Structure 1
Amino acid sequence: MTKFSSDEKVQAVMRYEKGSESLKSIAKSIGIHHSVLLNWIKQYEHHGEKAFIKGYTSYPTQIKLDVLHYMNEFGTSVRETAALFNIPSHSTLLSWQKSLELQGIDALQSKKKGRSSMKKGSKAQKDQTLVEESVEALQAEVERLKMENAYFKKVECLSSKQGKITKQDKAQVVYELRNEFSVKALLQLADIPRSTYYYVIKAFGTVDKDLELKDMIHAIYKEHEGRYGYRRIRDELTNRGHHVNHKKVQRLMKVLGLKCLVRMKKYRSYKGTIGKIAPNLLERNFHAERPNEKWVTDITESKLFGEKLYLSPILDLYNGEIITYTIGSRPVYSLVSTMLDQAFCSLTNEDKLLIHSDQGWHYQMRPYRHALEKRGITQSMSRKGNCYDNAVMENFFGIMKSEFLYLKQFENISHFKQELSKYIDYYNNKRIKAKLKGMSPVRYRIHAQQVA
């Protein structure tokens, strides 16, 4: 086989790096097998032009064992391992591997060739020095590669759990590997200042005074399936006897990587004036002194499994409780009329109720208006195209969609309806609100009745 100089090998690799020629075509043009060129490329990737400077092929037994151990432990191929350690031919590794398997460690010991010369002692001494330097460099390379693999394996483990790696995480990995490798080399690999490392490890011995609080915050967040932001979690902590500032809860949630979900848009049922428009008697006064004093209603659209679903609830402004709801595949009038019939069961003869909606066509219908008049209920409507006049209902739809619809996975429409029923029950009986003094709607109503 033709021998190639260092410059010729570099030129062949550069031709490949340009990307205009294939591996096989370059190898064929210079009269070598493409596997040889591939080995040059890998050597150049790891060592640059130094890879082609002629070295010594006499390796001590321990170096051979270290290289073979590295290949077995980290699963690198023979060619990749030869390139990593700048061993000119991968066949050398195959020979070591075969000798070790057949004859044991003794087969890896170097054998002296020829007769020992008494002349030219100074040259032999120089050669011995160069061999020793080459061996030391190879040993250093083995240690460096072991360190890199150990470091990145731990970093990768942390990354899969947390999603990102901080300087504190890097310092922790360095601290864990400090007994195996040089701290200086590890810090250089991690690319963090020495001062940062020592600042972090100094804090290792300090007890995290917020550890219990973090666990509680995470438990509340998980219990409510990511629906609570820092304010509501603060209120829930207060309910459990832990008074914490909301800013601290926000800071700890950021440390824990916990984030509340976002809101989405709602369905609009306005189709112009097709009946009678009622005046806006509510006038954004969303405060009610007692239950069944002010109700609000609306319809929202959702899409699941290629089908549209329409939800029509009634909400009591006294405590934000969902009185009742209906759901259907079409926004027909019966969706609203059935909802009314169900809601009327919650009323007593003493209740003087105002019910507010937008100007959707359902609420302009004569049957709807007559149903309210029959029960002595006052009708109120938002102004045209003004969603703020019914902001509480809009707010509920945003919460319901972000906490339930876009969070859960459903098997089919029937499963969705079952889960919706559970969510409404959760919303009424368990989900706390800041304006209700950290109580759920039902609990607030019962508490107010008991106090009265």
Structure 2
Amino acid sequence: MVKFTANDKLQAVNRYPNGNESLREIAKSLGTNHKAILKWIKQYEYNGKDAFIKSYTKHTQQFKLDVLNFMIENGTSLNETAAIFKILAPSTISVWRKQFETQGIDALQSKKKGRPSLKKESDQHSKQLPVEGSKEALEARIKQLEMENEYFKKVECLSSKQRKITKQDKAQVVYELRHTYPVKALVRLAGIPRSTYYDLVRRINLPDPDADLKVEVKAIYEENEGRYGYRRIRDELVDRGQKVNHKKVQRIMKELGLKCLVRMKKYKSYKGTVGKIAPNILDRHFTADAPNEKWVTDITEFKLFGQKLYLSPVLDLFNGEIITYTIGSRPTYSLVSGMLEKAFERLPENNQLLMHSDQGWHYQMKQYRHALESRGIVQSMSRKGNCYDNSVMENFFGIMKSELLYLKEFESVDHFKRELQQYINYYNTKRIKAKLKMSPVQYRTHFTLAA
């Protein structure tokens, strides 16, 4: 393996900004790979020329903890963390992390050089164990059984919400029983190293640094009735002035047991060719440069109180806003025609619009095609049996069912319709759309003001 001097690395870093050579070309000329060059560039960005000067400083336990905590809190990679703290080999941090996770905080303590003392081992052998069957042995056995009984009772009471016994639970029980039984015997019973126990106790006694953030995350989750995942909660936190890494939000949600529901399938309205099939003009180009350029529509089904309901909305691809919708107990053509009439009220005159749907029988009808032609609207249809051609509408149905239908309980069909109206208003005006970083109506308003 080729070894590079500090001067070699500095010259390679200085060659890159000129723009005449790529990372791979520089790496090839030096006989290394482009990842090495990228690592040197990162090191130079944070520490300048000093990044390439070897340091023989012995890293302390506290320094190693600071490095690991920084990487966890900020979500930085091994390479970036190594560059920031001037650690030449990123794999060194990986070793520290593995030591800490498997052996606890004591594993980060630098080991003393030389051969270990045999005094402690000889002292242990010199201790006499009680003779089997003696009074001392019987008393020791009774004490052991009392300790086990008390330990397992307390652990069961402290087990987490997921009904799993965590290391924190074990450490807390050991801490409570430390004055009654030897810590050494308790941690052996708990199956955790003493170093791990002392590290967990230290953390238990410290205030939770994320306590306020956890309250905020839970509040946002509950405000949106469990409809937000970690990405949207992160975006909401940013809107509220808190810049937090999405991985940290994901970790906090996992700790709090907060998660979204699974999406369900939609109603299929395809009945073969009963009219005229339009070409797939949209062709999965699901973006629009302005409002009312591309609309998509479809029908979905609900089953409530022993009866079915059918929803026919229309969605603007510019911002994902639901323009309007109709709902009925039967999937008749009037469901779609009523939706069109309401949608046309929102459409400016002489507006160039593309209307996309699947090949459902409603959209093949002569009345439907003429209604679009009368407003100069171009019709587009998905290919037969290809749900991905109308995936934006399918995505909305999945979100709406998981965030409304399968999340809330309804007293009647009328109650459901009222909740549906409130949900669509919430979806349009308040719910953050991850791609837009704001709600659909907010995005349209920003566009209108900027135009």
After superposition, what is the alpha-carbon deviation per residue over 1:10-56, rounded to whole angstroms, capped at 9, x for unaligned?
A: xxxxxxxxxxxxxxxxxxxxxxxxxxxxxxxxxxxxxxxxxxxxxxx
Residue matched to 1:442: 441
Residue matched to 2:278: 278
Residue matched to 2:403: 403
Residue matched to 2:229: 229
- Specify the code of the residue in structure 2 equivalent to 1:449: T
State whether residues 363 and 369 of structure 2, in contact with CA within 8 Å, keep that contact through their aligned partners in structure 1: yes
Question: Aligned runs of 1:99-178 on 2, under 5 Å?
Answer: 133=135, 141=142, 147=147, 150-159=150-159, 161-178=161-178
After superposition, what is the alpha-carbon deviation per residue over 1:163-201, rounded to whole angstroms, capped at 9, x for unaligned?
A: 322112211222133234443443344333323211211
The structure-2 alpha-carbon separation of the partners of 1:157 and 1:429, relative to structure 1 and needing over 3 Å to count, comes to farther
After superposition, what is the alpha-carbon deviation per residue over 1:342-399, rounded to whole angstroms, capped at 9, x for unaligned?
A: 1111112142221110000000111111111222222111111111111110110111
After superposition, what is the alpha-carbon deviation per residue over 1:232-272, rounded to whole angstroms, capped at 9, x for unaligned?
A: 12111111111222223223333333322222111111111
Question: Aligned runs of 1:198-217 on 2, under 5 Å?
Answer: 198-217=198-217
| CA distance in structure 2 between the partners assigned to 1:334 and 1:156 by the alignment | 60
Shift of 1:202: 2.4
State whether residues 410 and 416 of structure 2, in contact with CA within 8 Å, keep that contact through their aligned partners in structure 1: yes
Shift of 1:153: 4.5
| CA distance in structure 2 between the partners assigned to 1:341 and 1:179 by the alignment | 78
Q: SS of 1:435's equivalent?
A: coil
Residue matched to 1:34: none
Shift of 1:155: 2.9
The alignment covers a number of residue pairs equal to: 320
Shift of 1:156: 3.2
Shift of 1:332: 1.0
Could you tell me the percent identity over the aligned residues? 71
Shift of 1:427: 0.7
Shift of 1:428: 0.8
| CA distance in structure 1 between the partners assigned to 2:151 and 2:433 by the alignment | 47
Shift of 1:430: 0.9
Residue matched to 2:89: none
Matched, 1:341 2:355: no
Question: Aligned runs of 1:311-322 on 2, under 5 Å?
Answer: 311-322=311-322
Greater mean alpha carbon deviation, residues 321-330 or residues 159-168? 159-168
Shift of 1:144: 6.0
Q: SS of 1:258's equivalent?
A: coil
| CA distance in structure 1 between the partners assigned to 2:150 and 2:428 by the alignment | 52
State whether residues 160 and 169 of structure 2, in contact with CA within 8 Å, keep that contact through their aligned partners in structure 1: no
Shift of 1:231: 1.5
Shift of 1:339: 1.1
| CA distance in structure 1 between the partners assigned to 2:305 and 2:192 by the alignment | 50
- Specify the code of the residue in structure 2 equivalent to 1:342: K
Shift of 1:160: 6.0
Shift of 1:205: 3.8
Shift of 1:403: 1.6
Q: SS of 1:326's equivalent?
A: strand
- Specify the code of the residue in structure 2 equivalent to 1:348: P
- Specify the code of the residue in structure 2 equivalent to 1:222: E
State whether residues 310 and 328 of structure 2, in contact with CA within 8 Å, keep that contact through their aligned partners in structure 1: yes
- Specify the code of the residue in structure 2 equivalent to 1:446: T
After superposition, what is the alpha-carbon deviation per residue over 1:206-241, rounded to whole angstroms, capped at 9, x for unaligned?
A: 443333222222222222222222221211111111
Matched, 1:363 2:358: no
Unmatched segments (≥5 aa) in structure 1: 1-131
Residue matched to 1:249: 249
State whether residues 159 and 169 of structure 2, in contact with CA within 8 Å, keep that contact through their aligned partners in structure 1: no
Shift of 1:274: 0.3
Residue matched to 2:450: 451
| CA distance in structure 2 between the partners assigned to 1:289 and 1:224 by the alignment | 29
Q: TM-score when scaled to structure 1? A: 0.65
Q: SS of 1:323's equivalent?
A: strand
| CA distance in structure 2 between the partners assigned to 1:165 and 1:417 by the alignment | 44
The structure-2 alpha-carbon separation of the partners of 1:153 and 1:427, relative to structure 1 and needing over 3 Å to count, comes to farther
| CA distance in structure 1 between the partners assigned to 2:144 and 2:420 by the alignment | 57
Greater mean alpha carbon deviation, residues 379-388 or residues 175-184? 175-184
| CA distance in structure 2 between the partners assigned to 1:246 and 1:361 by the alignment | 43
Residue matched to 1:394: 394
Residue matched to 1:93: none
| CA distance in structure 2 between the partners assigned to 1:159 and 1:199 by the alignment | 19
Residue matched to 1:78: none
- Specify the code of the residue in structure 2 equivalent to 1:298: D
State whether residues 159 and 166 of structure 2, in contact with CA within 8 Å, keep that contact through their aligned partners in structure 1: no
| CA distance in structure 2 between the partners assigned to 1:257 and 1:163 by the alignment | 12
Matched, 1:385 2:385: yes
The structure-2 alpha-carbon separation of the partners of 1:156 and 1:381, relative to structure 1 and needing over 3 Å to count, comes to same
Shift of 1:295: 0.7
Greater mean alpha carbon deviation, residues 420-429 or residues 145-154? 145-154
Q: TM-score when scaled to structure 2? A: 0.65
State whether residues 236 and 432 of structure 2, in contact with CA within 8 Å, keep that contact through their aligned partners in structure 1: yes
Q: SS of 2:249's equivalent?
A: helix
Unmatched segments (≥5 aa) in structure 2: 1-133
| CA distance in structure 2 between the partners assigned to 1:167 and 1:391 by the alignment | 44
